[in-house]
Amino acid sequence: MNPALHARIARRKEVIARVKKILVESLYVPLPPDAIDLDVALFGSGLGLDSVDALELVVATESTFGVTFPEDVLRHGLRTVNSLVDLVVALQDEKAAA
Amino acid sequence: MSRAATAVITGMGAVASIGVGLDAFWRGIAAGKTGIGASLRFSTEAYAVRLGASLDPTALPPGLLDSAPDPDHDHAIDPCAAIAILAAREAVERSGITAAALRPDRLAIVMGTSAGGLHARSAYEFTDPRDRGRRHRLLDRSGFHVQTAAVADALGLDGPRLTISTACASSTHALAHARDLLRADLADAVIVGGVDLLIEETFAGFHAMGAISAAPCAPFSLPVGMSVGEGAGFVVLERLDDTARRGREPLAAVLGAGSSSDGHHPTAPDPTGLGIARALRSALDDAGVTPAEIGYFNAHGTGTEANDLAEWRALQRVFGVGVDALPVSSTKSYLGHTLGAAGILEIIATVLAMRRGLLPPTLGFTASRGHGPIDLIAAVAPRPAVARYALKSSSAFGGANAAVVLAVDAREIPAITASIRASDVVILGASAIAAHGFEGLDAALRRGAPLWKSIAATDALVPLPPVAARVPELPLARLVRGVDPRGMDTITRFLTAAAALALADAGLVVRGPLRDRVGLYAGAGRLPWDSADAFWDSIRARGFGRLSAPAFSRIVMNAAAGAAARTLSLLGPTSLFAGGPLGGLQAILAAADRLAHHADADALVAGAADELGRGMLADHAFSHPDAGREGLPFPLYGADHQAPVRGEGAACVVLARAGSPLGGAKRPVARVAGSGLSGPRGLATAIRIALQSAEISPGDVDAIHGSADGLVASGRAEIDALRAVFGDALRAIPLANPASVLGACDSLSALTTVAAIEVLRSGRAHPIVGATPHPDLDFTASTPRPVRTVLIIAADPAAGSAALVLTAP
């Protein structure tokens, strides 16, 4: 396998693990990390997060990864674990490129 | 003992943003002046919205608000207690009660506070961990009951002390408990109120939740959002017949009180309004007043969309079509949300207005939200109108709701309001979670071997690994069907487990309509450690402006009780007794009293929970490094050596009216025969009241359960009081205390109650194995007669004293 792709997959896995840790430890999602489906909705009937949790999810993720989310992230970027992870990876890439 | 005379308000005092002192407070209300502005005592640069309702320091004695909770001066008073003292003193002076006319031990205090110890706790959190002495003293001061004690001491009140902490409903709950104290004849006057400071932790917490409005809050109007405030309000509550004897005309009467749990969410109210409606109906029923007779509703009305809509839906449920003609307003447009002081300050505003033939308005109305009160008093000045009765509602984090019915016109104040004849109360089941685990309490206590051990140090600054009695791993998901412990903090897991196991022991399955008829009264000593750690860790890591909102929602004292009520569907009456180590027994006593005199519940679960948090362990390892180590004298009831060992846990009992038909419930395991409450110097008094109300003499007591925590002073307080009541007979009565096996903790007064119930079940007393022999005490459980009557006692230098007599059923 292409080493760059390999590294990218490894990095994505690490981001997933840390996002799950945030969900369990800071947002009290009542599931073991392994049981958190990457494509389930973060809010509402999915993982059950609500408006109180929304800001914490942003702040905790920003602090953990040293990134800053764009203003409209609450409306568009935080649907599922996967979309959150994509956003973090993209922001890290931007930061590295800058 | 029971005195049914109507509880009346005879004096009031207020310290608020709109004015300090009752006259200034009323001038503010009459002038339509809001106290919400931009000058807060901390920098608001980090926040997007920056409004709050702060006290005006120039209206207060110089330096009052600046005084740090200085732990190096024993008598330095926390600003929280300082403003409470101002308001309480004004209420007492205006009531005309004097210490000369009333015995100090018949003057009680009930104080509601959502964050009373937070100011000291915050100082603790931001003190260098190496400064162990200062940290220890600050931690001591962070007890909410310590604030109440400061007020009681300043005013010379020697009677019962209750600290009620149901977050933003605290002082409305407090008023209900004050009324219960008068009816139980445990006091002749109760100084009751609430207090909270606007500190940065609170502001930042609500800010992180996105709840703070960019404009001064205008409940039921656009824009949505709240404003945080601060202040203190107190009233003097007396029995109507006593005030008549004193020749005083009451200002108002508290005709009814009710409470409920939403069982819905940690912070958001049940949007259907069902939870609030239960509290409103319960208050109306208690008062014997119909919705049609209510002429004014003083709303909780925080200004948030969630609160205001839920409250409006509750009104629609309770008032039906009559809701269209119901005048409604929220005083928070003047005061901001004063948290623990909110209920009482809004009641004071209501009483002041109604006595003038006016109703207070909601300020700042700009545009309707499209739903909400039809007759919202949206104005800049009070509306001339006569309301026969007023209904006041408060709601809180944790889903706690409280409501009271008020009247000001003497013609509407009956001589007697207690409609329910006193009933016998029994205990249907009990359970404890502690170092022994979740079963086998009786066997562990009978064996008597201490269950503490050396545990891994969690803190590099602790010299030796501390010795403590921890709760073993709890298989909660297996113990309680349908409960998922993941996501719960430690104290919530403990309380939920103890409450669920007590219900199971009682054979009570809470489902269907019974859910509304079973409630939860809980005691708590300190903030929940786990969640408080998460909260301040988030501040240290990210700053106030970006603290964790979920952790903020969990650091209210009643968060665990709210979560347990939600998990177990205990939607009936609720309250939280922040009585330090006395909280558990206070909750049990209050629950028994509520059931005896009110019809709004068929059963109440009552008890307490606490946890050995990392800060507690570190502090204990510092204060008592040798506690629990081998070769040292036994920690309990020693004459000179003190080395208290800390434990943790939860204990609950299920109480019900004798003979009430509860589906599936087993036969009672004990009967509540009598109880007493008094001040810190009054343990002997509390015991005498308990024996008297049980109609027994000291010679009828077969066993005693103490809750001394291992400090010499605490053991001596129990021994002195017991000697005063029992004399030489004391040495023939077995004395037990589960701290001898489980360590001491803030739940100890509830644990010792559950242990006493075990003793009544078997008829055999518990020993204290390994205690240094004492000439006046029997630790050997060697009584030849079966135990049919047990006395349970608890005392604390700040929280006061409590005694309970249980008998075999």
pLDDT at B661 over 90: no
CB contact under 8 A, B541 and A30: no
CA separation for the pair B805, B704 (Å, rounded): 9
* pLDDT number for residue B460: 66
On whether the CB atoms of residues B534 and B559 are closer than 8 A, the answer is: no
A70-87 pLDDT, tens per residue? 877 766 668 899 999 999
Given CB atoms, is B304 within the 8 Å cutoff of chain A? no
Among residues A11, A79, A77, A73, which one has the least CA distance to residue A39?
A: A79
Mean pLDDT confidence for B504-511: 94
Given CB atoms, is B659 within the 8 Å cutoff of chain A? no
* pLDDT number for residue B639: 72
Mean pLDDT confidence for A42-68: 86
pLDDT at B75 over 60: no
Selected residue of A21, A26, A28, A65 to mutate for chain B interface (largest B Cβ count, 10 A)? A28
Share of chain B above pLDDT 70, in %: 96
Mean pLDDT confidence for B317-321: 97
pTM score: 0.94
| The one-letter amino acid at B326 | L
Among A24, A26, A31, the residue with its CB nearest the CB of B548 is: A26
pLDDT at B68 over 90: no
* pLDDT number for residue A69: 87
Q: Which of B187-201, B262-276, B277-291 has the weakest average pLDDT?
A: B262-276
- List CB contacts (< 8 A) between B206 and chain A: none
CA separation for the pair B380, B375 (Å, rounded): 15
* pLDDT number for residue B71: 58
Q: Which of B316-325, B403-412, B479-488, B493-502 has the weakest average pLDDT?
A: B479-488
CA separation for the pair A31, B486 (Å, rounded): 6
pLDDT at B771 over 90: no
Given CB atoms, is B34 within the 8 Å cutoff of chain A? no
- List CB contacts (< 8 A) between B486 and chain A: 24, 29-32
Least Cα separation, residue B490 to chain A (angstroms): 12
Contact partners, residue B376, CB within 8 Å, separation at least 6: B220, B221, B328, B329, B362, B365
- Percentages helix, strand, coil for chain B, rounded to the nearest 5? 40, 20, 40
Average pLDDT of chain B is 93
* pLDDT number for residue B1: 54
On whether the CB atoms of residues B406 and B347 are closer than 8 A, the answer is: yes
B461-481 pLDDT, tens per residue? 666 778 899 999 988 888 888
pLDDT at B458 over 70: no
Residues 30-59 of A with CB under 8 A from B: 30-32, 50-56, 59
Q: In degrees rounded to 5, what are phi and psi of residue B585?
A: -70, -35
Q: Which of A51-60, B7-16, B693-702 has the weakest average pLDDT?
A: A51-60
At residue B452 the predicted structure's pLDDT band, cuts being 50, 70 and 90, is: very high
B351-378 pLDDT, tens per residue? 999 999 999 999 999 999 999 999 999 9
* pLDDT number for residue B621: 83
Among B486, B542, B550, the residue with its CB nearest the CB of A52 is: B550
- List CB contacts (< 8 A) between A30 and chain B: 484-488
